[in-house]
Amino acid sequence: MICQYSFSGNSEQYVHLGRGHPRQILIIPPFFEEMNRTRWLMLTAMRTLDEARIGTILPDLPGQNESLVTDETISLSLWHAALERLAAQSGVAIDMICAFRSGAMLDDAFPCPRHWRLAPEDGPGLLRQLIRTRLAADREAGLSGSTELLLANARQESTEFAGTCLSPVFINDLENAKLTVHEQVRTVQLDGNAAQADAYISGKPLWRQSEPDEDQWLAQQIAGDIAAWVHR
């Protein structure tokens, strides 16, 4: 079901499956292009969880997906506040927050007893990725540049990264954003990833694909692991 939540004078959308189920989970998507590449994955996992009588909420963050908020006004504090408002307006008690990739930077938006993360990425990690993508696009266009020059410019004025114009405020946010340490958190990585995790699952890193793709087996593993953790 497509629902609406009000934030800062705007109406933002969210998908809510299984509103009447006894357990409710907020899913925080990754930012920017990774959100587009993983939306099928998240929605497929949500449908599987709905069949297991677990409700899920997937929001549009201000400035992302169908939101009318402009890129240059976004910040991590704005997104934290939006998620806090969504939780208050959802009409359900949220039992767990599931964060995909960079979404883990926002999973402390409001108190929640349990957290789950898939391949979490902090601010400096995301910023490095954005810079690599921008420099690669510049090279294809015959432009020269460097990480140092691009970052220095982005700290002073709004700069485009992968089709999104980010303000110096947001760049500063990313440079300093670390992942919150939670008492009850489960971290999941894909097989072959050297990062420490509580579990490893097999599948394609859809967030790295050049175009949106599907992986039914990965979605099923994600849903199964989430279901086991929320009921633990």
In order of their start, the domains of the chain are 2-122+181-230 (3.40.50.1820), 123-177 (no CATH)
More confident residue, 213 or 102: 102
Give the confidence band of 108 by pLDDT, cuts at 50, 70, 90: very high
Residue with structure tokens 């110096």? Answer: 168
Mind listing the pLDDT tens digit for each residue in 14-58?
A: 999 999 999 999 999 999 999 999 999 999 999 999 999 999 999
Distance (Å, whole) CA 64 – CA 138: 24
For residue 77, what are its two tokens? 């504090």
Distance (Å, whole) CA 209 – CA 207: 6
CA Rg, the chain, in Å?
A: 17
Mind listing the pLDDT tens digit for each residue in 116-171?
A: 999 999 999 999 999 999 998 888 888 887 899 999 999 999 999 988 999 999 99
Q: What is the mean pLDDT of the chain?
A: 94
pTM for the full predicted model: 0.95
Q: Show the 3-state SS of the chain.
A: CEEEEEECCEEEEEEEECCCCCEEEEEECCCCHHHHHHHHHHHHHHHHHHHCCEEEEEECCCCCCCCCCCHHHCCHHHHHHHHHHHHHHCCCCCCEEEEEHHHHHHCCCCCCCCEEEECCCCHHHHHHHHHHHHHHHHHHCCCCCCHHHHHHHHCCCCEEECCEEECHHHHHHHHHCCCCCCCCEEEEEECCCCCCCCEEECCCCHHHCCCCCCCHHHHHHHHHHHHHHHCC
